[in-house]
Homo-oligomer: A and B are copies of this chain.
Amino acid sequence: MQPNLYKVEILIIGNEIITGLVPDTNSGVITRRLEMLGIPVTRHVAVGDEEEDITDAVQQALARVDCVILTGGLGATHDDITKRVLAQMFDSAWVTDEKVKRQIEKLFRAREMETPQAAYLQAEVPEQATVLYNAKGTAPGLLFEKDGRRVYCLPGVPLEVEYLLETHIVPHLEPMGTVKMQHRILKTTGVPESTLWEEIGPVAALEEHVKVASLPSHLGVRIRFTATGKDWQETAAKLDAAEKLLRQKIDHHIFAVDDETLEDRIGNLLKKSQKTLAVAESCTGGLIAHRLTTVPGSSDYFLEGAVTYSNEAKQARLGVDPALIEAHGAVSPEVAIAMAEGIRRQAGSEFGLSVTGIAGPTGGTAHKPVGLTFIAVSGPQGTRCERFLLHQDRVRNQQRAAQAALNLLRLYLFDES
């Protein structure tokens, strides 16, 4: 690490963190954002809501680095002491910030509530500090400066950390970075990690442009490229070159890039072709419909979902013949197909998607073990059905079944287009 780099440490304050009750996600978010600007974070420290520990940690950090970003302990409850401790450290008097006060009142008015007396404490700020106005919550951020070193104080709520980081800290710190760094994530699903890398082949060609990381989870493998360069043009060109190489090998496995989700992708495919969709779910219990409807504007193509948990509901809502369930069982390719075709017919949609399976932990048999799942897609080109054998706990099996169903639909739509 070059000695002339501008360095940052992160200090997380809160008994809930130091006692292991709540995992700290803020240090990861802040670190990754600053890394993109070429500013290394060299230490993460977490302490409880104790005056001595906070003072000690801030002073030690300031002795090592140029800038400390701390989160937590800025709320309005009795154990939030960060603001008081910092005001003392920087020997500051107190003032009321009228803009914060008005913002708090506005927030409560928007919720049709009286502003509680305790909320006004948030508008009391140390005179020495620059107030970092917070459109996402009632506690403002604060910036203390001394001898060219900075201490940023943010409330601990992740949404507010992200807002204050982007609005106030990134613009301040961006000029301190020496290189630019940029990531790109290519998301795959439905193929095991080892198979995926066999299909990709040697990574040397990719590594001429980017650093490569493989991030597997139960919902798929994400491939992360990291490019560094003197500016964003250079990093983008390197990422583009690497992505092009990768797509030559495994294009069909890649369902989305960066923040795009599988349900976003499906939404885009359906919007483009102006087609509609309806979903019939058994073991996933509504998760597929929920994922589809997290996408803004999904009402344009998503008509309805049926969570047909009981056999009666499969019959009444989807027109699945009880004789079919009797003959093959509710978890069978025959019933999955009947469900997909049934919801398509009932809803009058171009596509019907269905899932039936045994999520567990109970309900399995020797012939039909826990995790057995059938997924069907019905559309103008006919009906496709696939069998899956999942092997995790109930909630992960539901998540994997939903992911597999959406991916099967994506591949069907992709073939259509």
Chain B residue contacts of A306, Cβ below 8 A:
304-307, 317
Look across to chain B and name the residue whose beta carbon is closest to the beta carbon of A56: B64
Chain B residues with Cβ below 8 Å from A60 are: 60
A270 CB-CB contact with B under 8 Å: no
A303 touches B310 (CB 8 A): yes
Question: Which residue from chain B places its CB closest to the CB of A347 in the assembled complex?
Answer: B313
Please state if A47 and B53 are interface contacts (CB–CB under 8 Å): no
Q: Is A319 an interface residue (CB 8 A)?
A: no
The reply on A380 being an interface residue by CB < 8 A is: no
B296:A362 contact, CB within 8 angstroms: yes
Decide if A42 touches B48 in the complex (CB within 8 Å): yes
Give the A interface residue count (CB, 8 A): 101
Q: Which of A83-91, A94-102, A190-198, A320-328 contacts B (4 or more CB under 8 A)?
A: A190-198
**Segment 118-176 of A: residues with Cβ below 8 Å from B:** 118-119
Is A79 among interface residues, defined by CB-CB distance under 8 A? yes
A382 close to chain B: CB less than 8 A: no
Q: Give the complex CA separation of A181 and B371 in angstroms.
A: 38
Q: Which of A96-111 contact B (CB under 8 A)?
A: 110-111
The residue that A307 contacts in the complex, of B18, B286, B348, B394, with Cβ under 8 A, is B286
- Measured CB to CB, the nearest residue on chain B to A398 is B294
The one of B35, B284, B389 that contacts A112, using a Cβ cutoff of 8 Å: B389
Q: Is the CB of B42 within 8 A of A45?
A: no
Stretch in contact with the other chain, from A25-33, A241-249, A333-341, A407-415: A25-33
Q: Does the CB pair A21–B224 fall under 8 Å?
A: yes
Q: Is A5 an interface residue (CB 8 A)?
A: no
Bound-state CA distance A53–B316 (Å) is 63
CA–CA, A97 and B183, complex, Å: 38
Per a CB cutoff under 8 Å, which of B284, B285, B317, B362 touches A297?
B362
The reply to whether A285 and B290 form a contact with Cβ atoms under 8 Å apart is yes
A188: chain B residues at CB < 8 Å are none
Q: Give the residue of B31, B77, B346 whose beta carbon is less than 8 angstroms from that of A214.
A: B77
A395 touches B46 (CB 8 A): no
Whole-angstrom CA separation of A29 from B293 in the bound complex: 32
- Interface status of A250 (Cβ within 8 A of chain B): no
Interface residues of A in 201-222 (CB under 8 A from B): 203, 213-216
Nearest chain B CB to A285 CB, angstrom units: 3
The one of B294, B307, B312 in contact with A293, judged by C-beta atoms closer than 8 angstroms, is B307
Contact A42 B31 (CB under 8 A): no
Are the C-beta atoms of A313 and B307 separated by less than 8 Å?
Answer: no
Say whether A310 contacts B299, CB under 8 Å.
yes
B289–A285 touching, CB < 8 Å? yes
Shortest CB–CB separation between residue A393 and chain B, in angstroms? 9
- Given the complex, which residues of B lie within 8 Å of A110, measured CB to CB? 391
Whether A307 and B307, one on each chain, are in contact in the complex, defined by CB atoms closer than 8 angstroms, is yes
- A29 and B20 CA atoms in complex are apart in Å by 7
Interchain CB contact under 8 A, B42 and A19: no
**Measured between alpha carbons, how far is A360 from B294 in the docked complex, in Å?**
10
- 22 A–B contacts from the bound complex (CB under 8 Å): A15-B213, A16-B213, A19-B35, A19-B41, A21-B183, A42-B53, A44-B46, A75-B216, A77-B193, A78-B203, A111-B192, A111-B389, A113-B192, A287-B290, A290-B290, A293-B309, A293-B359, A294-B394, A296-B360, A303-B312, A306-B317, A307-B307
Given A42-B53, A43-B53, A304-B310, list of 15 further CB < 8 A pairs? A16-B224, A18-B44, A19-B35, A20-B30, A60-B60, A111-B192, A116-B195, A116-B198, A118-B194, A285-B305, A286-B289, A290-B398, A296-B394, A306-B317, A307-B307
